Structures are given as structure tokens and as C-alpha cells.
Structure 1
Amino acid sequence: MSPYAVPLLSTLGGAAFAYLLGRFLGRHGITPEGDFGGQALSLIGAVLLSSFILLTGFQVAGSWSALSNARSGTYDEARALTDTYWDAGGLAAGDRTAVRALLRQYTRDVRTAEFPELARGRTSPAAWQALDRVRGAVRAAGAARPEQAAAKAAAQTSLATVYETRSDRAAAVKAGIPRVVWFAMVASGAFLIAFPAVLGLTSTARHLVAVSFAGAAVAFAIVLAAQLNHSFREPFGVTRAAFVFAEARFTQIDSPAVMAGRAVPRAPG
């Protein structure tokens, strides 16, 4: 099913809900003057609208902020992976090859295997193990020369950042708005739509069109907040673009021109 099918069906459902309430509960004649006070109706309607806007606004703002932080975190992790890859260039040839191969493996696992798991609300144990193998390889790397020791220390520092950003990503997967807030938002939205019909206000074709539009807007707002609440789920969730970028950077770093540019010249004599 298309990820856009749910918000579309929900929007149509909200419009149909509002229309049916207005059609069967609304009065079909002219409302007798004096039955309802205009100020009272305006006040009640404003209170209902404000309640819904308050709940939905907090939902959308909080979910959007969490989504933005999760997206930034993936690029922070990709940048730390690139730094580790670069730092590994100062290790001995065998250690450099081993560490860089493991970094590529971890990045590929995150991109291909873990992102589908993130959409289901969990991380991949295989990706954690792949990252642990990178740490083991860096720790086991030799440091016989000063430049190798410096490269090893830098790689360990960059790798610590990878662990930190990955842990933040694991926390973002589990984060979410409490369920009771969703119930309150749905209830307030439903009553906001039903308000004219419950009071028995005049039901005309123009009124039904306006109320149906309001129902569609309320339903769309609820579904939008729900979809933004999942940081790694379509259609608005974080994509794997950061890790595709990291793999491209690995290839650039491996290019002969870059390798020659960071080669350490031998001491004379």
C-alpha cells in the first residue's frame, strides 16, 4: 500500500464523518431566532477550536523537532564514520585495509539492513556487531611509529562519536508521544466537527460543504501528526541518504590522488 493512502483515506473519512453528522443530525429548516445565542455559540466553538489547535500544535511541533534531530543525527554519524575512515589511513597498510573494509561493511549494513528495521521501531543487532568489529580492529591496530599512534588515537576518538550518535538514533526510534494525547486529540477533533450538528444548526448545502472541509482538515492534521511522530517511517521519515553520502566519501578518500596527498615522506638518510 502506498504510504500516502492512509492520510488520503483518513481525510476522506473525516469529511464523510462530518457530512453524515450534518446530514442526519442537523436541522433542515431555518433555525428559529433566539434558540441559540450568537456569542455563546462563538465562545463554545472558539474553545473547541483552541483545544484542538493546542493539542495538534504541540504534536506537530514536537514530532517535527524530533524528526529534524533524528535526521541531523544520521549526518553526524555519517560524518564521524568518514572521519574514522580518514584517520585509518595513517595506520599500517594491513590495519588500514582491515579497518576500512569493516567500516564499509558497517555502513552498508546500516543502509541496507537496518533502515527497514528502524521503520519497525528497532535497531539491527547485526549492525551493532559490525560496529563492534570495527572497534576491535582499531584497538588491535599496531602503533609502532608515532604517526601510527596518532592515527590510531584519532580513529578511536572518531569511532566514539559514531557510537554516541548511533545510540542517539536508537533512542529516537523508541521515542514518541504518549497514547493518551492521541485519544484526546481524536476526541477533540471529532467533537469539533460534530459541534454544529449536535446543536442542531441549520443544515444547507453550503453548510455541509464548509463542515466537510473542516472535517477533512481535522483528519489530515491528526494523521500528519501521527506520521511525523515516527522519525524513520515513510513518507516523512529520515532516509538513508546520509549513509549513501558516507559511502561516496569512502570512495573519494580511497582515490589515488587523496592517498598520495596524505602519504608521509621518509626522513632523509
Structure 2
Amino acid sequence: MSPYLVSVVSTLGGAAFAFCLGRFLGRVRDTADGEVGGQALSLIGAVLLSSFILLTGFQVAGSWSALSSARGGTYDEARALTDTYWAAGGLATADRTAVRGLLRQYTVDVRTAEFPELAHGRTSAAAWLALDRVRAAVRGAVAMRPEQQTAKAAAQSALATVYEARSDRAAAVKAGIPRVVWLAMVVAGAFLIAFPAVLGVTATARHLVAVSFAGAAVAFAIVLAAQLNHPFQEPFGVSRAAFVFAETRFDEMDVPRA
């Protein structure tokens, strides 16, 4: 099922759940003057505010922060790859060709093979192997002249940053909010939605509309937090744009300078 459809169905389900509770458990009489009671309005307003603060404000903000960190990590890795590629330009011709070719292969492996794996919560063994080959090529590069030694040291330093960023990405794939927290969110959301009906708030049309909106907001917040909690899955997951950028920079650095 499409992630977008899941959000829509969950939101409508929350609204329907709240409507049924309000309709069948709420009282069917109004205040003496026929107007909506101020106590009922205050209660529904408190439920709406609690739903927003507890679910949307806390869980979504935390998941969005983790997603932003994962996205930033891919660009840190891409920048380190371009730094390594640039530094390799100072190596001997054979070593430069070998290192740059392996860097391109690693970047292609991440973009084409690893990102589908990340969506399933794992990294690519082939990409790890490709990066190890880059490190071996840099380590084995001949550095007879001072400028070659400087280039080799710079390439090794930038490559260490690549490994660090990649390890952070592997950790981000496995990280997430514990299941018990999701269970607590669902139970708390259901209680917040059911609270007006349990207290016997009058089931007028206006009350049902307000409570249904609260149900929709709570359900949408939970699903949104769940989707943001997986930083490499659709619809909000990290894209491959950073590695496409790296490949573009590789091409630019290959152009001979005048």
C-alpha cells in the first residue's frame, strides 16, 4: 500500500473511531437553553491541545530531527568523497586513475544498490567492500615526491571522514523509537479521542465534528511520526541527491584546467 494512502486511511479511521464513540456513547440531550455547554467546549479544546502537544509536538519533532541528521550525513559523506577525489589528483598517474575509478564505483554502488537496502533497514555489503578497496588503493599509492605525500595524506584524511559518515548512516538505519513508545502513543491517542464520550459530552453535530477532527489529528500525528521515524523510506526519506551531486563534482574535476 502506498505510504500516502496509509496516511489518508489512518486519518479517516481516526475520525470514524471518534465519531462512533461520540455518537453511541455520548449523551443525546443538550443544555437547558439549547446551546452548547461551555464545559463541553473547554473539554474538547483541551483534548485538541493535548493531542497536538503530546503527539505532534514531541514525536514528530524528534523524528524530524533524526531525519534531518540522516540527510545531513549523506551530504557530509558526499563532500568527503569529493575531497578524496580531489586529493587523489595529486597522486601518480596510475594511482590517481585507480583511486578515482574506485571512488566512482563506490558512489554508484551507494546510489543504485545501497539505497534500496536502506529502505529495508540494512546497508549494502557490496558498498562496504567497494569502500575498502578505495582505502586499500590509497594506502598502496606510491608517494615518492613531497606533493604526492601531501596528496596521499589528504586523501586518507578525507576517506576517514567518509567512513565516519557511512558508519553514522548505518547507525541511523537501525535507530528508531522503541515499540513500547508506539504502543503508548496509540493507547494515549485512543484515550484522548474517547475522553469526551466517556465523560458523557452531548453528541450534538458540532461536538461530533470537533471530536472527529481531534481523532483525525491524533491518527495523522501518529502515522506521520512513524513515517518520519524511518529516515530512508518513502515518503519523507533521504534521497540519493547527495551522491548524484558527488558524481557531478567528479565529472567537473576530471575536466582539464586551462
TM-score, normalised with respect to structure 1: 0.88
Per-residue CA distance 1:219-239 (angstroms, 9 max, x = gap)? 111111111111111111111
1:59 corresponds to: 59
In structure 2, the residue matched to 1:144 is 144
1:50 shift after superposition: 3.3
Instruction: Provide Cα deviations, 1:5-56, integer angstroms capped at 9, x if missing partner.
Output: 11111001101111111121122222579xxx97699579748953772354
Indicate conservation of the 8 Å contact 1:74/1:242, yes or no: yes
User: 1:216-227 to 2 correspondence within 5 Å?
Assistant: 216-227=216-227
- Counterparts in 2 of 1:200 and 1:32: CA distance versus 1, 3 Å: farther
Instruction: Structure 2 unaligned segments of length 5 or more: list them.
Output: none
Paired residues of 2:89 and 2:96 also in contact (CA < 8 A): yes
Kept after mapping to 2: 8 A contact 1:18/1:194: yes
Which digits, 9 at most, give the CA deviation of each residue in 1:110-158, with x for residues without a partner? Answer: 0011111111111111100000000001111111222111111110111
What is the Cα deviation at residue 165 of structure 1?
0.7
1:201 corresponds to: 201
Tell me the distance in 1 between the aligned counterparts of 2:62 and 2:178. Answer: 12
Identity %: 83
Aligned counterparts of 1:130 and 1:217: Cα–Cα separation in 2:
46
Distance 2:166 2:235 in 1: 22
Q: Distance in 2 between matches of 1:2 and 1:130?
A: 33
1:173 alignment counterpart: 173
- 1:102 matched to 2:102? The reply is yes
Instruction: Give a deviation string over 1:185-217, Cα, whole Å, max 9, x none.
Output: 111111111112112221122221221111111
- For 1:118, the aligned partner's letter is L
Is 2:118–2:232's contact at 8 Å kept on the other side of the alignment?
A: yes
Task: Tell me if structure 2 keeps the 8 A contact 1:92–1:142.
Answer: yes
CA distance in 2, matches of 1:207, 1:96: 71
Aligned length: 255
Partner Cα distance (1:113, 1:233) in 2: 15
| Distance in 2 of aligned mates of 1:2 and 1:48 | 28
Tell me the TM-score normalized by structure 2: 0.92
Residue 3, structure 1, aligned to residue 3, structure 2: yes
Residue 175 of structure 1: how far off its partner (Å): 1.1
Answer yes or no: is the 8 Å Cα contact 1:67–1:231 preserved in 2. Answer: yes
State which structure, 1 or 2, has the greater radius of gyration over its C-alpha atoms: 1
Q: Report the equivalent of 2:30.
A: 30
Structure 2 residue 215 is matched with structure 1 residue 243: no
Contact 1:11 1:219 in 2 (8 A): yes
Matches within 5 A, 1:71-220: 71-220=71-220
Instruction: Report SS of the residue matched to 2:149.
Output: helix
Q: Take 2:32 and 2:39, find their aligned partners in 1: how far apart are those partners?
A: 16
For residue 244 of structure 1, report the CA deviation from its aligned partner: 0.4
Moved more, 227-236 or 203-212: 203-212
